[in-house]
Chains A and B, each alone.
Chain A
Amino acid sequence: MVTPDLSVRLGSLRLRNPVLTASGTFGYGLEFLPFLSLEEIGGIVVKGLSPKPRKGNPPERIVETPSGMLNAIGLQNVGVDAFLAEKLPELRRHDTAVVANVFGETIPEYVEVCAKLDAAEGIAAIELNVSCPNVEAGGMAFGADAASLARVTRACRDATRLPLWVKLSPNVTDIRETARAAEAEGADAVSLVNTYVGMVVDVERRRPVLANGCGGLSGPAIRPLAVWATWQVSRAVAIPVVGMGGIASGRDAVEFLLAGASAVQVGTASFVHPDASVRIAREIGSWLAGHGLASVREIVGTLRTGKEERR
């Protein structure tokens, strides 16, 4: 049996396989070196980087939910300068695509981080975080409507020549509108979905479990919602789609690929099994081989709903 070709192309960026690790679930990548080889995945998306270090939200920050978890970390991170000085040089010793997730409270803050990353060596792409539900300013505030998403995308597009991805929030009425706005303002790809806003209540204390009140829901619980969003967006835009939401196996990843994603991100699964991303990449290969397919690119967007035939 021929080993299937797992490589994919997202615009100008080539990845050895379609599996990336999702921002906020993979630290700065280095934390995972005891468990996996970064050379076996397509790339990593690092924790959201802001202009200055951020302290994050007070605890409690996480709670498990049925087939998922709710988090309100509040983008605690070392800041873009410390990332470039301390983390990136280490990461560059590994042959993997490093995607920098960017967060700001204002458009000038987004632009500042993008410009610094643009000047650095070793960044494969920028992913704009306009969809974090757990911060007071910035984040989801920019991703909640197409007009504000368009403004931040345009400003960042003008600040960098790096491939620019926009990570979309599912907490909108129609995710296709924000996806189209990102495309119109020069994004090279959209990634989706970020977490769904939710709440867990401690009924004894009559308070939310999380100190932040609400948090973002991730894990297998959101997978059908995320597959649906991927399917909708992939038909609404011409730029590549990076799909994510509760992927825990190769078969889960194939759902997103069939629904139109050119690549996927693995998130919460890396908390449970640190080597989940590598296993998922291998399982995609096995699935393709088992179906006699030569390349992962053959299956992207080939979902059949049955409706076309009936028409």
Chain B
Amino acid sequence: MPRDLSVEIASHRDLGGGNHLLEVEAAPLARETAPGQFFMIGFPGADTLLRRPFSVCGLPGTFDGSSRSAVHVLYKVVGRGTEHLASRKPGSPLSILGPLGRGFDLELGAGTEALLVAGGIGSAPFPALAAALGARGIRCTLLYGARSASDLPLLDWFRARAPEVIVTTEDGSAGTRGLVTDPLRERLARGGNVRILACGPNPMLREVAAIAREASVPCEVSLEARMACGFGVCLGCVVPTRRGEGGETAYERVCVEGPVMPAEKLAW
């Protein structure tokens, strides 16, 4: 059940490239949030009106040295809300509503390997996810693509915690030059019992979903959308979905039916 809490920023790190890692102490959220779920964060005193949605990045145990009541959010400055948030120092008040939405399916079954596919700041939900899957004994491989080396936040964390990390950049400044879908195709060609969990810009997600469908590999995607409320009433964040193959399309809410959805459900 979601709650609306008043919290203070516990720590706030500039990771470069416009990326920031925010930590707040919020015991109920630390206890109840699942990987892939999100929070609506408000900035009291700011001149923005609406809260902004952020995926949970870290839960207790994800990052070393954080408390049992800490939750982390990884974000990139993309507009007025995140620009304002980036200026806030530890101790600054925030309002936080959550946990919200549907997270990743963690019941992958024994012997299944998780392929986490991230595009830039789309890596945000993956630290908490990788930690949860790791705790269940599931092997995770991260395929991490971005425009440039500065767009790969928390790469060191992933290298230390995930068994395998494959990096691609469009300008070749880190890893292999190219798109993250290239190593994904190669990895799927090797076969095996795998499942894809992807988060990133929509064009990337569409391509990942198409590759997964061709290879008959199950795929979940975590979506991003403009939201006013985050709990299902404004109907502002919808995406087109399909019920069954060739079925009728409808609009479903990213905030309630998502943000994590089975890729085959999306009509894009």
Contacts and interface: CB of A to CB of B under 8 A. Distances in A.
A308 interface: no
A273 B251 contact: no
Contact of A73 (B80, B231, B236, B240): B236
A276 to B, nearest CB: 10
A68 B49 contact: yes
A34 B2 CA distance: 7
Contacts of B225: 59
A241 to B, nearest CB: 25
Given A34-B3, A271-B50, A62 B234 contact: yes
Nearest to A28: B233
Secondary structure call for the A interface: loop
A31 B232 contact: yes
B100 to A, nearest CB: 10
Contact of B228 (A55, A76, A220, A268): A268
Nearest to A209: B226
A76 B251 contact: yes
B97 to A, nearest CB: 7
Interface residues of A, number: 33
A274 B95 CA distance: 12
Interface of B: 1-4, 42, 47-51, 80-81, 95, 97, 225-229, 231-240, 249-251
Q: Which 10 pairs across A and B sit closest by C-beta, in order of nearness?
A: A62-B236, A27-B233, A271-B229, A271-B228, A61-B236, A73-B235, A34-B1, A31-B233, A31-B232, A76-B235
Interface of A: 25-27, 31-32, 34-35, 47, 55-56, 58-64, 66-69, 71, 73, 76, 219-220, 268, 270-275
Given A56-B235, A59-B251, 18 more contacts: A25-B233, A26-B233, A31-B233, A32-B233, A34-B2, A55-B250, A56-B238, A59-B225, A59-B238, A62-B228, A62-B237, A64-B50, A64-B81, A69-B49, A73-B234, A219-B49, A271-B50, A271-B229
23 contacts: A25-B233, A35-B4, A55-B249, A59-B225, A61-B238, A62-B228, A63-B226, A64-B80, A64-B81, A67-B47, A67-B49, A69-B49, A69-B50, A73-B234, A73-B236, A76-B238, A76-B251, A271-B50, A271-B234, A272-B49, A272-B51, A274-B97, A274-B231
